[in-house]
Amino acid sequence: MTTELSPIDKAKFVAAKKAVEFVEDGMRVGLGTGSTAAWMVRCLGERVREEGLKIRGVPTSTRTASLAKEMGVEVVSLDAAKWLDVTIDGADEFDAELNLIKGGGGALLQEKIVATASDQMIVITDASKEVDTLGAFPLPVEVIPFGWQTTQALIEETLVSLDVLGRSASLRMNGESPYVTDEGNHILDLHLKRIGDARQTAMILNQMPGVVENGLFIDICDTVVIGYGDGKAQVRDINAGTIEENMLDFVEGENLFADLSD
Ligand SMILES: O=C[C@H](O)[C@H](O)[C@H](O)COP(=O)(O)O
The response to whether residue 63 sits with its C-beta less than 6 Å from ligand 1 reads no
Return the CATH number of the domain spanning residue range 139-212: 3.30.70.260
The confidence score (pLDDT) of residue 256 equals 39
The response to whether residue 140 sits with its C-beta less than 6 Å from ligand 1 reads no
Distance 216 CA to ligand 1 centre (A): 13
Distance 171 CA to ligand 1 centre (A): 18
The response to whether residue 108 sits with its C-beta less than 6 Å from ligand 1 reads yes
Measure the CA–CA gap between 46 and 52, rounded to whole angstroms. 9
The response to whether residue 35 sits with its C-beta less than 6 Å from ligand 1 reads yes
Number of Cβ within a 10 Å radius of residue 40: 30
Q: Phi/psi at 133 (nearest 5 deg)? A: -130, 135
Measured from the CA of 129, which atom of ligand 1 is nearest? 14
Distance of CA 165 to the CA centre of its chain: 24
Q: Which residues lie across from 245 on neighbouring strands?
A: 234
The response to whether residue 103 sits with its C-beta less than 6 Å from ligand 1 reads yes
- The set of catalytic residues is 111
Distance 117 CA to ligand 1 centre (A): 19
pLDDT tens string 104-143: 999 999 999 999 999 999 999 999 999 999 999 999 999 9
Measure the CA–CA gap between 138 and 134, rounded to whole angstroms. 9
Question: CATH topology for 7-130+219-257?
Answer: Rossmann fold (3.40.50)
Measure the CA–CA gap between 170 and 188, rounded to whole angstroms. 5
Is 7-130+219-257's fold the same as 139-212's? Answer: no
Q: Which residues lie across from 174 on neighbouring strands?
A: 177
The pick from 31, 36, 62 for probing ligand 1's pocket by mutation, whose C-beta has the most ligand atoms within 8 angstroms, reads 36
Q: Is 135 flagged in the annotation as binding?
A: no
Enumerate the domain spans of the chain.
7-130+219-257, 139-212
Ranges of residues in the chain with a pLDDT under 70 are: 1-3, 240-262
